Structure 1
Amino acid sequence: MNTPSNPTSIDRTWVNQAIRAIQRESARSADTHLLHVQFSAFPGIDFYFKDEASHPTGSLKHRLARSLFLYALCNGRLKEGMSVVDASSGSTAISEAWFARMLGLTFTAVMPETTSPGKIDAIRALGGICDLTRVGQCTQARAREIAQNGACFLDQFGLAERATDWRGNNNIAESIIGQMEKEKHPIPRHIVCGAGTGGTSATIGRYLRYRMLNTVLTVAEPKGQVFAEGWRDNNRDASVDCWSLIEGIGRQKVEPSFQFDVIDRVIEVEDADAIAAMLVLEGVLGIRYGGSSGTNLIACIELAREMRANNEQGSIVTLLCDRGIRYRETLYDAEWRSQRNIEVDARMRTIRDELGSHC
C-alpha cells in the first residue's frame, strides 16, 4: 500500500523567528510607571498618570505597533522580505519603524505634511521612509496605494481594536488594574484616555466589562473632532471638516476601531486648554509630555470637580501618551503658538489655581 505524499511543504521559519523576536522584546520591556499625584484642591481624590511615554519608542503606540506586527504575522499577511506601510500622524509610525528595523524590514510612514518635525526625524533615524501628504489628502488611501505594490499595510485605524487582546496578555487595561491593586482606591472611579484609532478606548472598555468593574471610561476629545459627534448620535457616518492642533487624537471621520458602546462619556477640550494643561503638567511631573496628555488632564479636572461637588472620594487614572520632545518646534514653541493665536498664560494660571498646591 502506497502512502500518499504531502503535496504541500510549509516553511514558517522566518515567521516563527519574527514572532519569537517580538515576544522577546515584550519580555524585556518592563511595565510602564503609574505616577501618583494629589492636588490640594481635590481632597480625597487621587490622580494617577500611566506613563506610556516610557516605552522604548517613547509613546503609548509601542503597544499598538507590537500588536499590529503580531496580527499581520499570525494572519499570514506579513512574510519574509516584504516591506511594511502604515498611515499615521507620527507616534504609531515611530514605533512601527522601530519594530520593522528589528525584523529587518523596510517601513514607509504615510503622514500629513503638518506632522511635527521631531516625529519625522525620529522615523528617519530608525531607517523609516516618510511619505508626506498635503492637507486634505487621505493618508490611508495613500498607504493602500503603496501596499498595492506588494507591501503589508498594517492599517492601525482599521485593525487597532481587533489586533489587541482585550482580555489581558499585559494589555494597558490589565496593567492599570494590576498596578492599582494596593492603592487606597484600587478600583478607579474614572479612567480617561484619548481616541486616535479608537483601539485604546476599545481595549480598556472591554476589559472593564470583562472584569465586571464599574469604572467610568471617558474619552477626552479635541473640540470639534468627529468622535464626540459620532458617539453622541451613535452615527458611524459622521464626519467633520475641522482640524485640531493636538496630534495623535481626534479624527475627521469615524474609524472602524471606534467602539461606541464601551465608552461611557466623551469630554471635548479646546486646543488652547490642552496646550496650557500640557505646560502645567511639566511643572507637576518635571517631564515634558505631548498635547494629548494635556487634553487628558483637562478631562480629569472636570471629572474631579464633579466628584468634589458630590462629596465623592476615589481615584482617577489617565494616560501620558508621548514625550514633549516631539513637539519642541510646535506646541512647546511660543512663536509657533503666537502665529496660531494660542494664548496659554492666563489658561495656565486658571489650571494651577484650580488644582491648588503641587503646581
Structure 2
Amino acid sequence: MGEGCCRVDDHSDAAARAWLNEALRKVEADANRSADTHLHVFPLPPDWGVDLYLKDESVHPTGSLKHRLARSLFLYSLCNGWIREGTTIIEASSGSTAVSEAYFARLLGLPFIAVMPRSTSPEKIELIELTGGRCHFVDQPGEMYDEARRLAAQTGGHYLDQFTYAERATDWRGNNNIAESIFEQLALERHPVPAWVVVGAGTGGTSATIGRFIRYCRFDTRLCVVDPENSAFFPAYESGDMGHTTGMSSRIEGIGRPRVEPSFLPTVVDQMMVVPDAASIAAARWCTTVTGRSVGGSTGTALWGALRKVADLRAEQRPGSVVTLICDGGERYAHTYYDDSWLRGQGIDIAPFTATLERFAATGEWAEPDL
C-alpha cells in the first residue's frame, strides 16, 4: 500500500451507513405520519376586535411540544455522527423532553437514560418508563448537566444536551418548524399576522426559532417570553447578565431554569414578563374549564401572558391577534397543579388570579390581583 493511503473497512462502514439511513428513515417517517398540530380559537367576544389562538402541541405522539425538539435533536445527532447503532442516549430533562426522547430512542432500538430532579411529576416518570427509558435522579436541578455528562462518558453514550443544541438543531428558516406552521395556519384569519406570539422558555429553543423566523420573514409580529418564579431568564434579560443564576428550581415544569441556558437568545425577544406560579396554575385550570382542553402549568404561564397582551391591544384600541401554545396536557399534573392538597402544601393560593381571569372575560378589563 502506497505512502499516505489508509485502510477502510468497507463492510463495517457500509453496515454503519445502512443503519444510519434506516434510522433517519424511521425518524422522518414519524414526522410524515404526524399531521400538523391544530390552531384553536380561544373564546373571546368577537366585538373586542382581538383574536387569541392556542397552538395545540399536546396532540403530538408523545403529548407535548417537546416532540418537535426531540425529533430535531435526534436528526441533528444522527447526521453529525454522534449516534450510532447501540449508542446509549442520555438527556438532562425535567420530564416532557425525556418522554419524547425515550419514544425516539425506542423507535431506533437504543437505550435511553433521563437524568432528572426527584421532584419531577410521577406521571412523567411513568411515561418515560413505559416507553422503555430509565430515570436517573438527582437532588438538585443544577446537578443534572454534570451527571448526564458523567453517565455518557461511563456508558460510551451520547448526551443529547437539549439546553445547548435546541436553538441550532431546528431549521429556523422553515421546513415545517413551529413558527412556519403558525403563520401558515393564520393565513385565512381576519388578522393573519399576529401582533404578539407568547411563549415560555425552558431551553430557549422555541423562542429562538420563532424570533428568528419572524425576523427572517420580515413580519411586524413581536415576541413575548413569559417566565415563572425562581427562573434565571427574566433577571438575566433585564440586567444583561447572561451568567445570572438563581440556585432554585421552577415549580412550573418545562419552563424556567436556575441558569440561563445556551439556547436562550435574548436578542430575538421583544419583551419578557414574570408570571407568578399561582397565576400560571390558575390560568391552566381556567383554560381547562373554558375550553374543555386539559392543559399543563407551562400553558397556564403562556396563557396568562397572552391574555395580558390581548388586554394591552384592547386598551390601545388596536385590532389584532395573539398566539400562544398548549405545551402539554393537564393529565400529567393530576398530582400537582390539579391537586388542591398539593397547592396548600406549596402555599399557593390561586383564587385571586382566577378572579382576575373571570373578571377579564366578563368585562375585557385587566386588573392585577390585589395581594
AA paired with 1:338?
Answer: R
Q: Which residue of 2 aligns with 1:244?
A: 250
Is 1:200 the counterpart of 2:178? The answer is: no
Alignment identity in percent? 47
1: CA distance, partners of 2:344 / 2:285: 15
AA paired with 1:19?
Answer: L
Shift of 1:239: 1.1
Contact 1:100 1:107 (C-alpha < 8 Å) held by counterparts: yes
Q: Which residue of 2 aligns with 1:267?
A: 273
Shift of 1:5: 8.5
2: CA distance, partners of 1:137 / 1:310: 42
Residue deviations 1:283-336, cap 9 Å, x none? 121021100000011111211111111110100000000011110111111111
Q: Which residue of 1 aligns with 2:100?
A: 95
Q: Which residue of 2 aligns with 1:222?
A: 228
AA paired with 2:259?
Answer: K
Contact 2:229 2:275 (C-alpha < 8 Å) held by counterparts: yes
2: CA distance, partners of 1:158 / 1:103: 23
2: CA distance, partners of 1:161 / 1:104: 26
Could you say what secondary structure the match of 2:48 adopts? coil
AA paired with 1:226?
Answer: A
Residue deviations 1:120-141, cap 9 Å, x none? 0000000100001113551011
Could you say what secondary structure the match of 1:69 adopts? helix
Which of 74, 77, 82 is the equivalent residue of 1:77?
A: 82
Q: Which moved more, 1:161-170 or 1:6-15?
A: 6-15
Residue deviations 1:193-227, cap 9 Å, x none? 00000000000000011111110000011134110
Q: Which residue of 2 aligns with 1:106?
A: 111
- Which 4+ stretches in 1 moved above 6 angstroms? none
2: CA distance, partners of 1:224 / 1:309: 30
Q: Which residue of 1 aligns with 2:19?
A: 14
Which of 51, 60, 78 is the equivalent residue of 1:55?
A: 60
Q: Which residue of 2 aligns with 1:294?
A: 300
Shift of 1:348: 1.2
Shift of 1:79: 0.5
Contact 1:307 1:313 (C-alpha < 8 Å) held by counterparts: yes
AA paired with 1:279?
Answer: R
2: CA distance, partners of 1:357 / 1:146: 54
AA paired with 1:312?
Answer: R
1: CA distance, partners of 2:63 / 2:26: 20
TM-score scaled by length of structure 2:
0.93
Contact 1:40 1:357 (C-alpha < 8 Å) held by counterparts: no
Contact 1:107 1:129 (C-alpha < 8 Å) held by counterparts: yes
Structure 2 residue ranges without an equivalent (≥5): 365-371
How many positions carry a matched residue from both structures? 356
Contact 1:41 1:355 (C-alpha < 8 Å) held by counterparts: no
Kindly report which structure 2 residues correspond to 1:118-267, keeping only aligned pairs within 5 A, or say none.
118-135=123-140, 137-149=142-154, 150-267=156-273
Shift of 1:42: 7.4
Which of 305, 315, 335 is the equivalent residue of 1:329?
A: 335
2: CA distance, partners of 1:158 / 1:24: 26
Contact 2:282 2:300 (C-alpha < 8 Å) held by counterparts: yes
Q: Which residue of 2 aligns with 1:44?
A: 49
Q: Which residue of 1 aligns with 2:367?
A: none
2: CA distance, partners of 1:136 / 1:319: 25
Q: Which residue of 2 aligns with 1:340?
A: 346
Which of 28, 33, 36 is the equivalent residue of 1:28?
A: 33
Shift of 1:340: 1.1
Distance change (3 Å), C-alpha of 1:121 and 1:357:
farther
AA paired with 2:172?
Answer: W
Could you say what secondary structure the match of 2:78 adopts? helix
AA paired with 1:85?
Answer: I
Kindly report which structure 2 residues correspond to 1:280-319, keeping only aligned pairs within 5 A, or say none.
280-319=286-325
Could you say what secondary structure the match of 1:148 adopts? helix
Contact 1:52 1:59 (C-alpha < 8 Å) held by counterparts: yes
2: CA distance, partners of 1:187 / 1:36: 15
